[in-house]
């Protein structure tokens, strides 16, 4: 008879051996589910002592049915898909994995922005059509050292990104109401207001967490403020960018192109997604990766180890190293 039951709400890893290797020695049975949307999770995991969560949305309604649960552990940084307040009200702590992909997301964002700045996808399309001319750029290519790189949000990923691209000579600006001008200056970054960032940046990169404040932080008004020769990059939650407004911006020429790591509907949290659900996927100046900014072999292994060890600590009556507090 197992001492604990640990359910993994959903996972896209090839197996759950890492989690089992960490949790079975303390008497836990680790059970993998594929409840991707979170619907019906409480019924499937009614006797859970712990839940490890990937994409499943865990609502107050679900939490109130989990009578034995002590911890909900996120595979990842963001906790917008778990009702943290409800969890603590019901005696359940929440943990995350805050540091595992700081390089990967920064590197992915840099890759997308450099791809756009250097017109790579547009040149590639023309070459495949049989044209071999530098004049085939979609928009004139600026020198990087003459360009402004704008960061919306200046957390750990943005700071890492700024450090890496500084060597290319960009004038790096950032908007973040929670980070001081002096702190940004220590990294060679200028603090500006959002309006200034949008109006002056060659690249606008959205790196905020998803909150009520950042929902559609890039909307029609913001896109109209951007330079006509600018590019938009997004590697944060899909709902930070209004996709209907972005479609208008890309089809009406408000900006040149955009590259996102997730559209607004966030397909990995849906059961039956198709590209037909979002008109952005009909455009040749919109590029998207399937929520892979965080991915590398090393980051995935680290994430799984940390999440499982957070659960282990709670089940053993210890304080987990990556506790998420209500209101954060």
Does the predicted TM-score (pTM) go above 0.85? yes
Tell me the average confidence (pLDDT) per consecutive run of 10 residues in the chain, 328 residues long. 93 96 97 93 96 95 96 92 96 95 97 98 98 97 97 97 98 98 98 98 96 96 98 97 98 98 93 94 98 96 97 97 85
pLDDT of 327: 75
Nearest to 252 by CA among 235, 236, 231, 228: 228
Rounded (10°) CA dihedral 242, 245, 247, 251: -160
Task: Supply the pLDDT for residue 195.
Answer: 98
The whole-number pLDDT of residue 312 equals 98
Choosing from 215, 266, 302, 305, the catalytic residue is: 266
Report, in this order, helix, strand and coil percent for the chain, each rounded to 5: 40, 15, 45
Please identify which of the residues 138, 227, 237, 304 carries the catalytic annotation. Answer: 237
Half-sphere exposure of 82 (CA within 13 A, CB side): 30
Q: Which helix (H) or strand (E) holds 324?
A: strand 323-324
Give catalytic status of residue 266 as yes or no: yes
Contact yes or no for 241/261 (Cβ under 8 A)? no
Note the pLDDT of residue 268: 87
Active-site annotation holder among 108, 138, 291, 304: 291
Q: Is 216 a catalytic residue?
A: no
- For residues 25 and 15, what is the distance between their CA atoms, to the nearest angstrom? 18
* Cα–Cα distance for residue pair 236/213, rounded to 1 Å: 14
> What is the predicted pLDDT for the residue at 328?
56
Task: Identify whether 291 is a catalytic site residue.
Answer: yes
């Amino acid at each position: 008879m197992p001492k604990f039951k640990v359910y993994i709400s959903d996972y896209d890893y090839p197996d759950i051996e890492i989690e089992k290797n960490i949790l079975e020695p303390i008497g836990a049975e680790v059970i993998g589910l594929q409840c991707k949307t979170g619907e019906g999770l409480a019924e499937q995991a009614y006797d859970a002592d712990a839940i490890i969560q990937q994409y499943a949305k865990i609502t107050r309604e679900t939490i109130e049915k989990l009578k034995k649960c002590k911890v909900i552990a996120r595979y990842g940084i963001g906790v917008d898909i778990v009702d943290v307040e409800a969890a603590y009200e019901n005696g359940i702590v929440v943990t995350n994995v805050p540091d595992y992909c700081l390089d990967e997301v920064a590197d992915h964002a840099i890759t997308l922005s450099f791809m756009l700045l250097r017109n790579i996808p547009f040149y590639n399309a023309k070459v495949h059509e049989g044209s071999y001319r530098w004049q085939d750029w979609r928009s004139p290519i600026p020198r990087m050292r003459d360009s402004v790189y704008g960061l919306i949000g200046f957390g750990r990923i943005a700071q890492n990104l700024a450090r890496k691209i500084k060597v290319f000579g960009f004038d790096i600006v950032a908007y973040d109401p929670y980070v001081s001008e002096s702190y940004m200056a220590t990294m060679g970054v200028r603090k500006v207001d959002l309006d200034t960032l949008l109006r002056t940046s060659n690249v606008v990169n959205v790196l905020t967490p998803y909150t009520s404040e950042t929902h559609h932080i890039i909307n029609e008004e913001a896109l109209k403020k951007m330079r006509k020769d600018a590019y938009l990059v997004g590697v944060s939650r899909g709902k930070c960018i209004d996709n209907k407004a972005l479609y208008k911006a890309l089809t009406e020429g408000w900006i040149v192109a955009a590259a996102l790591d997730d559209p607004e509907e966030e397909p990995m949290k849906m059961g039956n997604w198709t590209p037909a659900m979002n008109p952005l996927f009909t455009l040749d100046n919109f590029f998207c990766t399937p929520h892979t900014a965080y991915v590398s072999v090393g980051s995935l292994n680290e994430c799984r180890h940390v999440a499982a060890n957070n659960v282990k600590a709670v089940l053993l009556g210890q304080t987990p190293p990556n506790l998420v507090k209500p209101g954060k």
